[in-house]
Chain A
Amino acid sequence: MEKFATLRSGVVPLPIENVDTDQIIPARFLKATTREGFGRNLFADWRYAADGQPKPDFVMNDARYQGHQILLAGQNFGCGSSREHAAWALYDAGFRVVISSYFADIFRGNALNTGLLPLQVTPAELQELFALVAQDAQAELTVDLPSQTLQVPGRPEPMHFELDAYKKECLINGYDDIDFLLSQESAITTFEQQRTWIF
């Protein structure tokens, strides 16, 4: 997993609630057996017409937002299927941070395991950010993971966000849970020898 500590970037605004993982990456694109290449089908049915041409009214096809690495989305982002391909697709398309007022549980875990930061703000802060980007499509936010802050242009105080201390260390150092779990080998073996409910 790539390390993540800080990012200064423009934003892609997607003011839609309950964006499910079938929108992020439709099931018909899940037939690959590797992790790479899902980015081209990110939001496929919103992004492309049936003939494969980009739909001009979808935000990712708007020239003003090209190259922006922060996705700003409505509440309950990533609901639905457990497919980690959704996080891979966002990452592969260049996103490093998704901001929302809350995330579906499985998506949040998948994003953290992919090196994609799910950054949770309050509903009021989310509206503030949408208003900012509506006014200035090139507004740049600064995500600082070590201090857990989001600096917003024109805002005296940065926004603060919560993240589990262990997950924060993992992202900053590029560690994943396998390394940690393998280090628990002796405790796991002892546990297996003592469990009683397997009949």
Chain B
Amino acid sequence: MPHTLFDKIWDAHVVRAVAGGLSVLYIDKHLIHEVTSPQAFDELTARGLTLRRPGQMLATADHNVPTRHQDQPIQDPLSRSQVEKLTENCARHGVELYGLGHPYQGIVHVIGPELGVTQPGLTIVCGDSHTSTHGAFGAIAFGIGTSQVAQVMASQCLLLDKPKRMRITVDGELLPGVSAKDVILHVIAQLGTGGATGYFVEYAGSAIRSLSMEGRMTVCNMSIEMGARGGLIAPDATTFEYLHGRPFAPQGEAWDRAVAYWQTLFSDEAAQFDAEHRFEASAIRPMITFGTNPGMGMPLAAHIPAPAAAAEAPSFEKSLRYMGFAAGESLLGKEISHVFIGSCTNSRIEDLRTVAAYVRGKRKAPHVEAIIVPGSKQVEQQAIAEGLDQVLAAAGFELREPGCSACLAMNEDKIPAGAYCVSTSNRNFEGRQGPGARTLLASPLVAAITAVEGRLVDVAEYVLEYANQD
């Protein structure tokens, strides 16, 4: 019987099917961070339980950490106590921690892949909805709540119902200046913020295959923004090449066996999906969001649409009111005061290179505050090795230290109330980047151009200039 990629991995991890359609699913890798783990550790302690497989866990401090002076004690007492609690818990329970100061520290969804912990065919969970990122390697990866974090700690398993399967195919060639971020913002704008609820998505098609691993991670990362449990992409030569030689990737003979297995991980020709959507790559333009959920996106040069249905109108209007926009309006020329480049969606070396290539020899607009937060220490070190830090500094961008930063504004990196921020992150929810902050999601290239111009522009002409630099 033909199987989807998702079914192949899921079925291989079912410990037991339970009456009523639930399965005990085995979890290979469990990633944790400081915000969603402390209550889980406490629950285990309260029940007198121990971690079943601490060796299959990996911890980092990312959500709450400052992006300046990481060599000094954290100023905010609550943030400091949460990070200290993670350190204590990891030490007590034997969990490998890449905390502040460690050369592997960074955003959990950046370090897992760059260390080679994320591999095809695995089940990976984390108390964080953007765990879907790891699906770019052909893994089943999804976010869980803190009660489930405790369950995995105790049993290395979860009790789950199997999601339905959706395939999203993007065929053809992307236009110059159109990136993975634009692809996923386009898809979410079409399907809506709840359009994939109940599904696990496989991304396929020539445009997806042509993406780098960084690009594929950007696409899978935002699966949750249309409600999907996760997203995944069949592993291929691009995947294997990325993983080869990484610290936790298999070596030598084990590598050969791994690749032989990974090559079996694809959806069979006749495999059936519960839902299918197709998109033409050449129809995708550089995107921007105009509302307060990631489904409220449009081509940057378009006009803000009217709500799709009358029933949606009150929420849609509330959203536009928050943003200070009106239906039918063009955003071209809109002054922007803040640019944030970072987050688990777009903070990898490729993203930093894109920004540096565009801003080289230019200068940000005087009124713009532009910060760029690398996804990990390794990304930061690579950027410095390539001289990108100098390029960014000369252009007036502030290169910070790694963390989630202004994506969710748990630390000091907040956008002021009422200010517009073009952000490469994943969520434009009300107040996401600080109370009253107004977020417009976009690609790193659009963010870089906006920082230089100080306003939203039709990027088409700038994209040509950027393409000619290569």
Contacts and interface: CB of A to CB of B under 8 A. Distances in A.
Nearest to A30: B35
Interface string A2-22: 000000000000011110101
Given A17-B312, A17-B315, A23 B145 contact: no
B42 interface: yes
Contact of A188 (B20, B24, B427): B24
A81 B82 CA distance: 19
Contacts of A30: 35, 63, 410
A184 B157 contact: yes
Contact of A82 (B144, B408, B427): B144
Given A15-B314, A178-B151, A31 B78 contact: yes
B129 interface: yes
A43 B272 CA distance: 41
Contacts of A109: 144-145, 148
Given A50-B435, A176-B147, A199-B250, A166 B20 contact: yes
B147 A84 contact: yes
A82 B128 contact: yes
Contacts of B35: 30-31, 83
A198 B28 contact: yes
Interface in B124-181: 127-129, 131, 143-148, 150-151, 154-159, 161, 163
A164 interface: yes
Contacts of A162: none
B229 interface: yes
A184 B157 CA distance: 9
Contact of A106 (B79, B143, B258): B143
Given A74-B315, A79-B227, A31 B147 contact: no
A69 interface: no
B22 A164 contact: yes
User: Which one of B52, B147, B431, B436 has the greatest number of beta carbons of chain A within 10 Å?
Assistant: B147
A75 B295 CA distance: 14
Contact of B430 (A23, A188, A192): A23
A185 B50 CA distance: 13
A-side interface size class: 35 or more
Interface in A149-199: 164-166, 176-178, 180-182, 184-185, 187-188, 191-192, 195-199
Given A33-B85, A74-B315, A199 B254 contact: yes
A113 B148 contact: yes
Contact of B409 (A16, A27, A81): A27
A35 interface: yes
Contacts of B314: 15-16
A34 interface: yes
A15 to B, nearest CB: 7
A197 B15 CA distance: 14
A109 B151 CA distance: 13
Interface in A41-59: 45, 50
B22 A166 contact: yes
A18 B293 CA distance: 8
Nearest to A123: B311
Given A80-B429, A165-B20, A188 B155 contact: yes
A197 B127 CA distance: 24
B197 interface: yes
Contacts of A18: 193-194, 293, 295, 315
A50 B435 CA distance: 8
B159 A181 contact: yes
A138 interface: no
A135 to B, nearest CB: 18
Contacts of A164: 20-22, 161
B143 A82 contact: yes
B198 interface: yes
B406 to A, nearest CB: 11
Given A31-B82, A50-B435, A197-B121, A114 B255 contact: no
Interface of A: 15-18, 20, 22-23, 26-28, 30-35, 45, 50, 74-76, 79-85, 87, 102, 104-106, 109-110, 113-114, 123, 164-166, 176-178, 180-182, 184-185, 187-188, 191-192, 195-199
24 contacts: A22-B429, A23-B429, A27-B432, A30-B410, A33-B38, A33-B39, A33-B82, A75-B194, A79-B193, A81-B129, A81-B408, A102-B194, A105-B163, A106-B144, A106-B224, A178-B43, A178-B155, A181-B24, A184-B24, A185-B155, A188-B26, A195-B12, A197-B121, A199-B254
Given A31-B35, A196-B261, 15 more contacts: A18-B193, A18-B293, A27-B410, A35-B39, A45-B430, A76-B227, A80-B427, A177-B151, A177-B159, A181-B155, A184-B16, A188-B15, A198-B28, A199-B257, A199-B261
Interface of B: 12, 15-16, 18-22, 24, 26, 28, 35-36, 38-39, 42-43, 47, 49, 52, 63-64, 76, 78-79, 81-82, 85, 119, 121-122, 127-129, 131, 143-148, 150-151, 154-159, 161, 163, 193-194, 197-198, 224, 227, 229, 250, 254-255, 257-258, 261, 293, 295, 311-312, 314-315, 318, 408-410, 417, 427, 429-432, 435-436
